[in-house]
Amino acid sequence: MSGGGLQMSASRFEFDKLIELLGRSEKDPEVKDFFGRQMSNIERDEFYGSLEFKPEGVDVVFQEAPWVIPSVAITDPKELYLAAFHLHRYGHEGYAEYSNRLPNGLALGDSEADVLRKMGQPLKKGGGGMSRVLNGRVPLWFWYPFRKAILHIQFDANGRVEMVTPRTPDLESA
């Protein structure tokens, strides 16, 4: 099935493919092929770039080289690398729901107990309290190692999964 225009189908954002693309340069032929003409739409700020696919429930985060790859591998410090995919539950930050399969039967909307049953104990946990800086609640999150990535699972105020983020590991933990 293929529609017209630049819009990507949800199946294009198949989870295993996203994991495969993490850590690759914006100049990588697979990244260019995956995003096609959308690459020219990257919204750039000081150290980051982003693409939004609200109808597919996905936004994409690129970061400059020093935050994603080891310093010995950097040829251009301003080059962007694919750092994360935010996979949203319906309505979270105005997104449609990410509709592809997640690992281990994980589902958007799962409870904390569901996540622990499906994924086991997280490598790290955080959030859940109040922040003066954010002037509100810091969402509870779990981190799981997943292949070459970190799987960051964020919960809403009711303890339900609202966003799943496969992302590159922090350089110091890579």
Question: Any idea where the domains of the chain sit in the sequence?
Answer: 10-173
Q: Among residues 74, 166, 168, which one has the least CA distance to residue 119?
A: 166
Contact 80, 57 (CB under 8 A): no
Q: Which helix (H) or strand (E) holds 49?
A: strand 48-53
Share of the chain above pLDDT 70, in %: 92
Query: Confidence band (pLDDT; 50, 70, 90) for 3?
Result: very low
At residue 152, φ and ψ (nearest 5 deg) are -100, 120
CA–CA separation, 107 and 105 (whole Å): 6
Share of the chain above pLDDT 90, in %: 76
Q: Is the pLDDT of residue 1 over 60?
A: no
Query: Confidence band (pLDDT; 50, 70, 90) for 2?
Result: very low
Q: Is the pLDDT of residue 142 over 90?
A: yes
- Given the structure tokens 């994980």, which residue do they identify? 106
pLDDT value of residue 5: 40
pLDDT value of residue 172: 59
pLDDT value of residue 56: 95
Contact 98, 57 (CB under 8 A): yes
